[in-house]
């Protein structure tokens, strides 16, 4: 009878099952905290990346000499291993969430700058000529014509950046700010199956939720494509 009780579903923590509802019941609060931290690190990094990518893409689009330099620097940043990049930032910001956010923001630039640039380059020349004929200044033409038409490519890049950042955020666990990555590493270290599986599944679900939210936002801000 003792063996039977120990192997029952209510004792999945004892037998170290991969699927363990009891783990979710007893660790709900820490898991929610990890999800909140993961979401915070991801969203802040992607938003900062978008803010930085916009002027860089516009500069690369308007000034041809700056194009190769902008794309080259952002590409080189993406080739730096995440662990190495985080530790390069540590001397400046210490072991903090800001270190992780800085590294993740730099990684998003490769995707966001390229997609924005593709969108800006894809604006029809006849549309630009018509805008100039209406007397629009370069600044007004950028905000009222070029950027709205570049939105589909920009939003596609934003979706890719968000999903990839969810995955990269887990690496922040090496300095204590990895959200679900911290849970994952702890589970691997202790060979705790339920903790490892739960953290991995939550990362996937978080990436899917962000992708769906951004897809809906993309449809909302590009109604002409939805109509077409």
Segment 199-213 mean pLDDT: 94
The answer, yes or no, to whether residue 152 has pLDDT greater than 80, is yes
Within a domain: residue 141? yes
Residue 50 is predicted with a pLDDT of: 95
In the chain, what percentage of residues exceed pLDDT 70? 93
Within a domain: residue 13? no
How high is the mean pLDDT of the chain? 86
Q: Which two tokens stand for residue 206?
A: 């978080």
**pLDDT tens digits, 78-103:** 888 888 888 888 888 888 889 999 99
Nearest to 56 by CA among 31, 43, 73, 41: 73
Segment 169-188 mean pLDDT: 90
Within a domain: residue 71? yes
pLDDT band at 48 (very low <50, low <70, confident <90, very high): very high
Within a domain: residue 11? no
The total number of structural domains in the chain stands at 1
pTM: 0.87
Three-state secondary structure along the chain?
CHHHHHCCHHHCCCCCCCCCHHHHHHCHHHHHHHHHHHHHHHHHHHHHHHHHHHHHHHHHHHCHHHHHHHHHHHHHHHHCCHHHHHHHHHHHHCCCHHHHHHHHHHHHHHHHHHHHHHHHHCCCHHHHHHHHHCCCCHHHHHHHHHHHHHHHHHHHHHHHHHHHHHHHHHHHHHHCCCCHHHHHHHHHHHCCHHHHHHHHHHHHHHHHHHHHHHHHHHHHHCHHHHHC
CATH number assigned to the domain comprising residue 110: 1.10.3720.10
Within a domain: residue 63? yes
The answer, yes or no, to whether residue 8 has pLDDT greater than 60, is no
Range of the domain at 176: 28-227
Residue 225 is predicted with a pLDDT of: 67
Q: Which two tokens stand for residue 32?
A: 């929610």
Within a domain: residue 8? no
Within a domain: residue 140? yes
Segment 108-115 mean pLDDT: 93
Residue 227 is predicted with a pLDDT of: 57
């Amino acid at each position: 009878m003792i063996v039977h009780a120990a192997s029952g579903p209510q004792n999945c923590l004892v037998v170290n099952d991969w699927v363990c509802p009891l783990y979710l019941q007893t660790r709900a609060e820490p898991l929610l905290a990890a999800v909140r931290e993961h979401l915070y690190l991801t969203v802040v990094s992607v938003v900062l990346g978008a803010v930085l990518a916009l002027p860089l893409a516009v500069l690369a689009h308007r000034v041809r000499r700056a194009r190769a330099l902008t794309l080259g620097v952002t590409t080189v940043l993406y080739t730096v291993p995440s662990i190495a990049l985080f530790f390069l930032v540590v001397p400046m910001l210490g072991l903090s969430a800001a270190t992780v956010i800085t590294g993740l923001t730099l990684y998003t630039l490769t995707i966001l700058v390229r997609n924005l640039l593709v969108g800006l380059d894809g604006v029809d020349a006849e549309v630009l000529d018509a805008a100039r004929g209406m007397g629009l200044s370069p600044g007004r033409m950028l905000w009222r014509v070029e950027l709205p038409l570049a939105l589909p490519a920009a939003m596609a890049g934003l979706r890719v950046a968000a999903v990839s950042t969810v995955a990269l955020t887990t690496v922040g666990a090496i300095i204590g700010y990895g959200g679900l990555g911290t849970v994952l590493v702890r589970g691997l270290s202790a060979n705790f199956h339920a903790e490892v599986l739960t953290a991995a599944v939550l990362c996937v679900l978080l990436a899917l939720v962000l992708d769906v939210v951004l897809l809906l936002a993309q449809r909302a801000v590009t109604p002409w494509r939805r109509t077409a």
